[in-house]
Amino acid sequence: MRRVIILGSTGSIGTQALDVIRANPERFEVVGLAAGTNREAVEQQAADFHVDDVALGAADAERLVRSVDADVVLNGITGSVGLGPTLAALEAGRTLALANKESLIVGGDLVRSIAAPGQIVPVDSEHSAIAQALRSGAAQEVRRLVLTASGGPFRGRSRDSLADVTPREALAHPTWDMGLVVTTNSSTLVNKGLEVIEAHLLFDVPYDRIDVAVHPQSIVHSMVEFVDGSTIAQASPPDMRLPISLGLDWPNRVAGVGKPLDWTTAQTWTFEPLDDEAFPAVRLAKQVGGYGRTFPAVFNAANEEAVTAFHAGRIGYLDILDTVRRVVEAHEAPEGALTREGLSEAETWARAKAQTVMAAAGS
């Protein structure tokens, strides 16, 4: 039986993880829960699962990870505030089931320097798919990784046609039910750009060998192309409980956690090239990932500020990525070893610079 701490337990990832655990009490035991601010909800979860240790906020979550004995920490926190708990889980020797992609992207080499081989298990559906497909061959046999993207609600539209997009339209994702920031990031494809950086950091594949293909049906979650011309794809109906279950018990599969595809019915899957002109986020993210150091932290922080401003009605939709690009172009990474304090300072700078850029654009 695996003892599990769930961070972000009241969010989408956390509640679905609890669904998996509830259905498999012989395999998993919840020993700790952490939420952002929803005390009432997390206390009800603790009562339902007989959990004594509960935390509120990222700092308390970090304390929880260090003080409660567990086999697996599922980090489902949203945003770069998840970095501290990610570092704590790795330093404590826990298996880290990582749904909080921002902590790896922001932490970069700092996180990788702490993690033991195999200690981080990806929970994002795309990276879980790649991890599954990579079991089909050796590392030297991999030619490239192909991450799939639904294309979001604005697939097929030109850049000019996106100028008047409203927050409500940006939140109308065709496939996944996610929070405000992640859903908006999926519409701009910033989320896919972040996933490209995450794939590089997880699997140590160069950026020029990581591609994105638009796949509106969200059935093929990602693919690995091998040197002999074979491509191994992981396919399943869009249900996050499958990659969550693998994160909790990697590499073992949990029976019945998701519904398989129905091969007795006709279905069509399509794949399209990414339109870099309308959605330049992936191209910018690859540049940022190539720069490394504090640049990914700046990219992520500036985007968070811009998304918040967009939903507050202070900037337009196209201003989101324009703001991020200008902040990245203005950044100068400090010399020396990457530290948590240095990353925090870079994020603080990026948030302030983003506000300055947006204020200037609106004047």
Q: Is residue 295 part of a domain?
A: no
Amino acid 337: pLDDT: 87
- Among 87, 92, 91, CA closest to 77: 87
Same domain, 200 and 136: yes
CA separation for the pair 260, 155 (Å, rounded): 27
- Residue in this structure with the two tokens 């697939």, named with its chain if needed: 155
Predicted confidence at residue 307, as pLDDT, reads 97
Q: Are 133 and 102 contained in the same domain?
A: no
Residue 128 lies in a domain: yes
pLDDT computed for residue 24 by the predictor: 98
Q: Around Cβ 163, how many Cβ atoms within 10 Å?
A: 11
Q: Specify if 53 maps to a domain.
A: yes
Same domain, 195 and 69: no
What pLDDT, on a 0 to 100 scale, did the predictor assign at position 178? 63
- Global pTM reads 0.95
Q: Is residue 209 one of the residues assigned to a domain?
A: yes
Counting every residue, how long is the chain?
Answer: 363
198: containing domain: 124-237+262-278
37 and 176 share one domain: no
pLDDT at 181: 87
Please indicate, yes or no, if residue 360 is contained in any of the structural domains. Answer: no
Shared domain for 98 and 184, answered yes or no, is no
Distance CA 150, CA 203 (A): 22
Using CA atoms, how far apart are residues 335 and 315, in angstroms rounded to an integer?
A: 33
Q: How many domains does the chain have?
A: 2
Residue 95 forms beta bridges with which residues?
72
From residue 79, alpha-carbon distances to 106, 317, 333 in Å are 10, 20, 21
Closest CA to 222 of 112, 141, 133: 133
State residue 38's pLDDT score.
94
| 202-211 as b/e: b if 16+ CB within 10 A | bbebebeebb
Tens of pLDDT, residue by residue, the chain (363 residues): 999 999 999 999 999 999 999 999 999 999 999 999 999 999 999 999 999 999 999 999 999 999 999 999 999 998 899 999 999 999 999 999 999 999 999 999 999 999 999 999 999 999 999 999 999 999 999 999 999 999 989 999 999 999 999 999 999 876 655 678 888 999 999 999 999 999 999 999 999 999 999 999 999 999 999 999 999 999 999 999 999 999 999 999 999 999 999 999 999 999 999 999 999 999 999 999 999 999 999 999 999 999 999 999 999 999 999 999 999 999 999 988 899 999 999 999 999 999 999 999 865
Asked if residue 162 lies in contact with residue 176, where contact means CB atoms within 8 angstroms, the answer is no
Is the same domain home to 141 and 270? Answer: yes
> What single DSSP character describes residue 251?
T
Using CA atoms, how far apart are residues 175 and 149, in angstroms rounded to an integer?
A: 11
From 249, 270, 287, give the residue that closes a domain: 249
Q: Output the pLDDT for position 180.
A: 85
Residue 159 lies in a domain: yes
CA-to-CA distance for 221 and 162, rounded, in angstroms? 26
In angstroms, what CA-CA distances link 340 with 86, 99, 102, 324, 333? Answer: 12, 20, 14, 22, 14
Question: Is 286 within the bounds of a domain?
Answer: no
Same domain membership, residue 272 and residue 154: yes
